[in-house]
Chains A and B, each alone.
Chain A
Amino acid sequence: MKRFNPRWIRWVAGLAIFFGGWQILAAKEDNPPPPVSGSPIHPTFPLLDENGENVLSSGQNVSATKTCGSCHDSEFISTHSFHADAGLSQMGPPGSVANGRDWDTSPGSFGRWNPLEYRYLSPNSDPIIDLTTAEWIQTFARHPGGGPAEFNREAQLLGLNSSGQPNQTNVENSIVNPDTGQLELWDWNASGTVEMNCFLCHVPDANNEARVTALASGDFDGATTATLLDTALLSNSESGWVWNQEAFDDNGHLLQEFVTLQDPTSASCGHCHGTVHADLATPLTLNSYTAADYSTQTTGQLVSPQRISESGLNLSGKGDLARSFDVHAERVLSCTDCHYSLNNPVYFQEADQQRPDHLIFDPRRIDLGEYLYRPLHQFAKGSSAQSILASGLNNTQRQCESCHTTKNTHEWLPFKDQHTTSLSCESCHVPELFAPAVETVDWTVLQTNGEPLISYRGLAEDGATQFSAAALLNGYEPILLPREAADGHTELAPFNLLTAWYWVYGDPARPVPLRYLEAAWLDGSTYPAEILTAFDTDQNGRLSSAELILDSDNKVDLLTRRLAAQGLENPRITGDIQPFSVSHNVTSGEWATRDCQTCHADESRLTQPFPVAGYTPGGVLPVPRPVDGLIWGDGLITTDDGSLFWSPPTAAAGFYIIGHDAVGFIDSLGAFAFLGVIAGIFVHGGLRVLSSRQQVKKQRGTVRHVYMYDVYARLWHWLQSTAILLLLLTGLIIHRPTLFAAFSFPLVVQVHNVLAAILVINAAMAFFYHLASGEIQQYLPQPRGFFNQAAEQAIYYLRGIFRGDPHPVEKTRARKLNPLQQITYLAILNVLLPLQIITGALMWGVQQWSDLAIRFGGLPFLAPFHTLIAWLFASFTVLHVYLTTTGHTPTAAMRAMMIGWDQVEVRHLEPEADATSPVGD
């Protein structure tokens, strides 16, 4: 083993803490296994009990706050931690929690009801008590101690009232006798309280199971000690804890190699927050969920660097998923790299709003010693839909953009900024989740083991209520819902939707306590005859999960009666949908959603209805739970078979998905105009053909060759027509990519943009040409006789043309356009073209000048408008081409536009000096 000299130690200590690298150094020691290698930095220390005595001599339980408190300010730590507080400090009367349920009393797990854990921490004022504080501690073992496990709602130590005297029987001093439902005094002196458990997160091989067992058994004081059980320090015997004497020196201090304290690893967080599997060598398997898998169970997120293809999941198509579950875990990040202590001088960064504009980074921060003395245990967090505790710390964690830039990596993505504004990074980078996630929790029924019916998404078997390592998984794509991001703009972000049904009673409502529910449903561990008669359709004496469903009024009435019989007032079923944000299990670009037509198609990923439930217990439709900034829309869809879906409100939230969204009446109107023109042409053209057969060729006026269009006029015309034609075609493909799936969507979008640029440039140059050459006059109607001539022209098209009459308006070099053409072109060039250019430029500009585009209504307005004008252009183009056939001969005008020389009938025989040469240019 390497010997460090003191200076070296100090130097290493500084740097190691600086990089949060304790664990890396700890791993460096390559001593053979027994026991564990110690931290080279952390000083040795004695283990103290709550009186500050060495546990070796006192034989008492170890107190982490006393032990660690010798050097660290453990009171500061446990009073500045939302993990410990769990909502205690924000407790209020039932229903006072913003976005909470009617009976929630705090935003944390101490007071906020959730349908997976179901039990309700009752307020003192309730006549029927479900959970008391003591039983909450026993049940909600995900709480690390401190906060409500030490102090009551009057901020006194548990067991004392506000004047420091032992309290009366109330929810904080008692426990519910399950048989009588009465409160009985809880002996806090015997149980002790639960201090904030430093070891749970800071000891590498902390024994969480032993801790949970100690808590459940009511041994609150012993929970901290239990956390060290079966480590190198402590074992259990019949006579109690046995400390490993070998681990301590003569002074009762731990030997250096037994000082294994660490920065919390992902596994530490995994004790309570979800499935963490850091081991690459052992294939990850999922068998069932426990309370400690909460985040995995509710979202399907799990933290593992393992390649999915190498995991032990029974996942269909696994072989192709040669990517890790979580790229950040793969890249050797741990939870604390993002969820860091908020006064950690390495990570801490003032929020933009609080930082003066002239600063990007404030180098003045607490020094390492201060941090180590008082490390703030408020951790940087995001703002998930499910967690509303410590909302003041929302988005203190750096966002994806704080570490990543889309510059240089998303250049392939057309309209990059538009995409990154409309979509959270997770929308594409968490394309799918592979662990099963709860879809519905149905507490309206109860299984004989006292559990509700839970169905999972991500299982191949539809509506499966159980999963095991053998169940075939197929993963699920989270729903994308619009939600306000940290910077206040609304973007789509992925969620799981967890729908719960349960009984409530009374007014104001309370969830029916589990013991009442059990009494209504069960006789011990079997169903009573009355229940079986109503539910057991196959009469085999058992209720399968298919039978266990409140699908008729009779069944609902039966249970209502059985609940009411226990004295519950107005028992009724209620259901709600809770969204759970998905922000972990990010994958790298190669595996992210990147195919345009995933979203830009008829079947858009963004608007796909998301399965919510396969049935509705008691016919009660679930109500979406309000979440700050989340736009639910009105998306609940009930299908014919009774399944429920939620349709993402993308359009309602102001998203216009090109290639998917189309405004029906615009397309109808446009198509009507277009088809109308075609129909008109057929009729008109048909009549012309018929009439030309019937009439004898009239002697027409002299035909003269006139040099009608010079080179530039023809060039700009054909450029414009090619551009318009191609723009119409590419536009159509962009509008309906599913119909034209053979074309590459991103390619067509780019071609469309380039063509638009050509069109605009060409139009500008042509405008200049017309101004400079004076040709502009061609388009300007002459006020005198204009209406008469226009009428004459119209009559000609309606009548004269069939009789072979001469054109009413002579086409000359100086006057190429008849009045109808003048007014049409004027409208096209002054109204349609500019509008199309402006709407198109703004649509392109949602990328560059999104504010401007939004001021003009954003894509939801611009895009349909652009489509409408495109339809009109298409109609005009067809009409225009048809009308070119009305010249001297059907192809004369077309030919003239090609070679410049036109054949025109001459009625007035004044020679036109410049245009009689038969020679072309």
Chain B
Amino acid sequence: MTEFRSTWLLGASVTIAIIFLPILLFVRLDSTAAADPWDNVVPTVAPTDHSALLTGPFADGPAVTEACLECHTDAGEQMKHNVHWTWESEPLLLPGREETVTVGKKNQINNFCIGIQGNWASCTRCHAGYGWEDASFDFSDETHIDCLACHADANLYAKGTAGEPVEEVDLVAVAQSVGRPDRQNCGSCHFNGGGGNAVKHGDLDESLYFPDETVDVHMGRHDFQCVDCHTTQDHQISGHMISVSPLANDTLSCQNCHESDLHEDERITSHVATVACQTCHIPEGAARDATKVEWDWSTAGQDLPEDPHVYLKIKGNFVYEHNLVPTYAWFNGNADRYIVGDEINPEQPTNLTEPLGSITDQNAQIWPFKVHSALQPYDTVYNYLLIPRTAGDGGFWEEFDWEQAFLLNQNDTGLAYSGSHDFAPTEMYWTLTHMVRPKEMALQCNDCHGETGRMDWEALGYYGDPLTWGGRVQQFGLSAANQTEGGEE
């Protein structure tokens, strides 16, 4: 009987193998499973409940930090290399310069509220530390790192002058609420950059607290948190670009999760080497809340009717824009940076953050930017941009006296004031990289190409619309190879 069984089992398997091997070999399935972006999303680990671990009482912020550091012994040292604490980069060699410089909120300016020097107590509300109120702040003191700003329940916590917790905060409750940073932790500062909601970035504002998918497909459709993309190892947060990180050399990109060649349409795939994902998938900036696109400091100090979106006596005139069509420029991930003290030509707009790259730069892609234009004070003798004392003692926001604001700040900024100032045009380029829309809302061919296209092809270095004139490969004979991966950051 066993003989019978073994014979027919063998026979059956041989027969089945002969039948099915060719079928498996020759029958093609239509859908080849595409790479799943979710494979690259690190699942959220449930936070440890700290309510039993942090019982307090805590006299002040640093007391909480000391408690944190008891267990998280490396965290302090890690945070000392985190720009949320340093507000300053490592020394960088920017293009065209012989000496390295450091760049950060600590020592450089923007064309919004200009600079923190002399105005620390007000600006450092958003510093991940306690007590930065003047130049003497000790960055080596780990206990002054503010763990709570990022890790506590943002509903229970608020920071005031010099980054100290405001009086009403119950530090014990706050400390016990710590966990993984959520959108509110990041948003309470980053959504309010420039002095209020939606002012600065054009792609980061409070609409991202509860976005629907037409604002941000990742957050709205898939309920992402900021840190799902801005993955963090040892308190080193990935993803930074341009203004305070001109030479970012970053590792965060769409391709961390998405394949570069995921488009079924070859026409679109052929764009990937030249056009950043963001360009098509972020068709407009400021999807919900209007963002500031112009700031004229020269009109500040007058007694005009006030409207926070039009004119404020302390700040001057503004223009806000909603659903703004981005400015497009080549960008290879690096940017030039105006360094405090650099000479300017007041006749022409000075670009404080100029994206680097050009049509002939194989690592550059066309990126969408929000451009913020301003008229801001400069010294007409020394021809450099000035950093006024604004929120600080005796500053412009109290006295409305520009002369005093510059004179008072000479020591804090190291910028001598000649006694004569005027206002010069400046620009800042801000990459639009958040608020990615669903693919159904991505740009279509006609948005850029054809008669009504939004691209200024000649400004980008093309002879004309590459649809008919050919792209940069044809124009410059660039090799098409090596482009798909380049220039993402």
Q: Does B139 sit at the interface, judged by CB under 8 A?
A: no
Chain B residue with Cβ nearest A267: B451
Q: Does A719 sit at the interface, judged by CB under 8 A?
A: yes
**Cα–Cα, bound, A329→B398 (Å):** 59
Instruction: List A contacts of B449 (CB < 8 A).
Output: 332
Contact A754 B22 (CB under 8 A): yes
Interface secondary structure of B, over-half rule = helix
Partner pick for A920 among B7, B29, B445, B469, CB 8 A cutoff: B7
Q: Does B168 sit at the interface, judged by CB under 8 A?
A: no
Contact A332 B8 (CB under 8 A): no
Partner pick for A412 among B14, B26, B30, B439, CB 8 A cutoff: B30
Q: Does B452 sit at the interface, judged by CB under 8 A?
A: yes
Q: Does B264 sit at the interface, judged by CB under 8 A?
A: yes
**Cα–Cα, bound, A319→B451 (Å):** 28
Instruction: List B contacts of A25 (CB < 8 A).
Output: 464
Within 8 A of A (CB), among B433-462: 439-440, 444-447, 449-453, 456-458
Contact B15 A28 (CB under 8 A): no
**Cα–Cα, bound, A718→B464 (Å):** 69
Contact A719 B15 (CB under 8 A): yes
**A332-B449, A722-B19 in contact; A280/B444 too (CB < 8 A)?**
yes
Chain B residue with Cβ nearest A323: B440
Contact A280 B468 (CB under 8 A): no
Question: Which of A124-132, A381-389, A731-739, A745-753 participates in binding chain B?
Answer: A745-753
**Cα–Cα, bound, A329→B447 (Å):** 12
Q: Does A755 sit at the interface, judged by CB under 8 A?
A: yes
Q: Does A849 sit at the interface, judged by CB under 8 A?
A: no
Q: Does B71 sit at the interface, judged by CB under 8 A?
A: no
Q: Mark A748-767, 1 if CB is under 8 A from B, else 0.
A: 00110011011000000000
**Cα–Cα, bound, A430→B8 (Å):** 55
Contact B468 A754 (CB under 8 A): no
Q: Does A588 sit at the interface, judged by CB under 8 A?
A: yes
Q: Does A743 sit at the interface, judged by CB under 8 A?
A: no
Closest chain A CB from B230 CB (angstroms):
29
**A28-B458, A715-B14, A898-B11 in contact; A755/B4 too (CB < 8 A)?**
no
Partner pick for B4 among A726, A750, A899, CB 8 A cutoff: A899
Partner pick for A750 among B26, B456, B457, B468, CB 8 A cutoff: B26
Q: Does B45 sit at the interface, judged by CB under 8 A?
A: no
Chain B residue with Cβ nearest A714: B11
Contact A588 B27 (CB under 8 A): no
Instruction: List B contacts of A24 (CB < 8 A).
Output: 450-451, 464-465, 468
Closest chain B CB from A434 CB (angstroms):
17
Instruction: List B contacts of A723 (CB < 8 A).
Output: 19
Chain A residue with Cβ nearest B458: A28
Q: Mark B365-379, 1 if CB is under 8 A from A, else 0.
A: 000000000000000
Instruction: List A contacts of B33 (CB < 8 A).
Output: none
Instruction: List B contacts of A307 (CB < 8 A).
Output: 440, 444
Contact B444 A19 (CB under 8 A): no
Contact B467 A332 (CB under 8 A): yes
Chain A residue with Cβ nearest B14: A715
Contact A750 B27 (CB under 8 A): yes
Contact A332 B446 (CB under 8 A): yes
Q: Does A590 sit at the interface, judged by CB under 8 A?
A: yes
**A24-B465, A305-B446, A747-B29 in contact; A726/B3 too (CB < 8 A)?**
no
Instruction: List B contacts of A899 (CB < 8 A).
Output: 3-4, 7-8
Within 8 A of A (CB), among B454-483: 456-458, 464-465, 467-469
Contact A747 B8 (CB under 8 A): no
Closest chain B CB from A629 CB (angstroms):
34
Chain B residue with Cβ nearest A900: B7
**Cα–Cα, bound, A903→B264 (Å):** 63
Contact B23 A898 (CB under 8 A): no
Q: Does B16 sit at the interface, judged by CB under 8 A?
A: yes
Contact A21 B464 (CB under 8 A): yes
Closest chain A CB from B446 CB (angstroms):
5
Q: Mark B24-49, 1 if CB is under 8 A from A, else 0.
A: 00111110000000000000000000
Contact A747 B19 (CB under 8 A): no
Q: Does B97 sit at the interface, judged by CB under 8 A?
A: no
User: A21-B464, A26-B451 are known contacts; what are 19 more A-B pairs with Cβ within 8 Å?
Assistant: A19-B469, A28-B458, A278-B446, A280-B444, A305-B444, A322-B440, A331-B445, A588-B265, A719-B15, A719-B18, A722-B15, A722-B16, A754-B23, A754-B26, A757-B22, A895-B4, A899-B3, A899-B8, A900-B7
A-B pairs, top 7 by smallest CB distance, nearest first, are A322-B440, A332-B450, A750-B27, A898-B8, A27-B451, A305-B446, A718-B15
Q: Which residues of A contact B (CB under 8 A)?
A: 19, 21, 23-28, 30, 265, 278-280, 305, 307, 309, 322, 324, 329-332, 412, 588-590, 714-715, 718-719, 722-723, 726, 746-747, 750-751, 754-755, 757-758, 895, 898-900, 920
11 A-B residue pairs with CB within 8 Å = A27-B452, A305-B446, A307-B444, A331-B267, A332-B449, A412-B28, A412-B30, A589-B264, A715-B14, A758-B18, A758-B22
